[in-house]
A = this chain, B = another copy of it.
Amino acid sequence: MIKPIKVTITGAAGHIGYALAFRVASGEMFGPDQPVILRLLEIPQALSSLNGVGMELEDCALPLLHDIVLTDDPGIGFRETDYAILIGAKARGKGMERKDLISDNAKIFSAQGKAINDHASGDVRVLVVGNPANTNALIAAANAPDLENKQFTAMTRLDHNRALGQLANKTNKLVADITRMTIWGNHSMTQYPDISNCRIGGASALELVTRDWAIDHFIPRIQRRGGEIIEARGLSSAASAADAVVDHVRDWALGTPDGDWVSMSVRSDGSYGVSEDVVFSFPVTCKAGEYEIVQGLELDDLSQARLKASEKELLEERAIIQELL
C-alpha cells in the first residue's frame, strides 16, 4: 500500500476550493496510484458549507481518497500535512484601500505560517493562492522559522496557462505544442507575461506573431484576464484557478518535462537582478519536489524595465507589512 499524501486546502468551501478538492481526490494532482488524505480548513462561519463539501466528496466514492478531515482549527488542518494550499483570504471590499487589504491578509498569512511551522510535516510544501499571493507567501515563510523559504511558493501558474491559451489561439496551434512561456514578477497587474523564449513546434513564437501584438494585445490581456472572466461569469475564476493549482503542485512534486519550464513565484535568490527580499515569479524547472530558477535568459531593456516595475510593487507591498516579517 502506497502511503497517502496529506493535502491541506484552506478556504475549502469557497469557489476555488470546491473546484479543487474533487480534482485532488480523484488523482489528478499526484497520479492514479497515489492515495490522498484531504484536510479541509475553513473559517467557523463556513463550517456548514464545508460539511456539505465533505459529504459530496464522500458521495464520489473516490478510491484514492483515504480520509477527509473537516475543521476550523489550523492546528488540526495543518497537522502533519505534506502540501498546504492556502486559498482562503480576505477579499477586497468596496471602498477598501489596497493597503488595508494587504495588512488584513498579512495577519491571516502570518498566523497560517506559524501554524504550518508548528504542525505540518517538516518537508511540507506550501502554495499560496489567496491574494496578494506573493506577499502572503513571503509573510507565511517569515513566520515559519523552522522551515526553509524554498518550501513556500505563490501561484502564477494561472497567468502562465492563460498566456499559453492566448498564444495558442492567436497562432492557431495546440497548447501542447508551445513551450518556455514565462510569467515574471508579481501576480498582479504589473506581471510580465513574456513570450520571447517561447517555442511553437520548431519555431520561435516571435516568428509567428508580431512584437506589436505581444505588447499591445497579449500582455495587457493576460494582466486583465481576471476582470474579463468576472465580467462574463459574474464570478471570479474558480475552475481555472483550481486547474492551475493542480498543475503547479503536480509539476513541483513530479517534475517538469525535459526542455520546458513553468512559472512559479518563489523567494528570489537574486537571479536576473531581482531583490532577494521578495517572492517573485520566475521560469523554473522542477524535479522530485525541488525547483530551480532557469538561468541565462536574455532580457532586453523593455523586459528589464517590466521586471523592475513588478519588483518595485512587491517591495512596496513588503514595506506595508514589514512588522510581520
Contacts and interface: CB of A to CB of B under 8 A. Distances in A.
Given A22-B19, A239-B22, A51 B232 contact: yes
A44 to B, nearest CB: 15
Interface stretch (A114-122, A161-169, A316-324): A161-169
A79 interface: no
Given A59-B165, A61-B165, A237-B56, A174 B19 contact: no
A243 interface: yes
Contact of A240 (B49, B57, B168, B235): B57
Nearest to A230: B52
A228 B56 CA distance: 10
A159 B250 CA distance: 31
A161 B28 contact: no
A231 to B, nearest CB: 8
B60 A161 contact: yes
A93 interface: no
A232 B49 contact: yes
A128 interface: no
Contacts of A51: 232
Interface in A82-129: none
B59 A161 contact: yes
A178 to B, nearest CB: 8
Given A51-B232, A52-B229, A59 B158 contact: yes
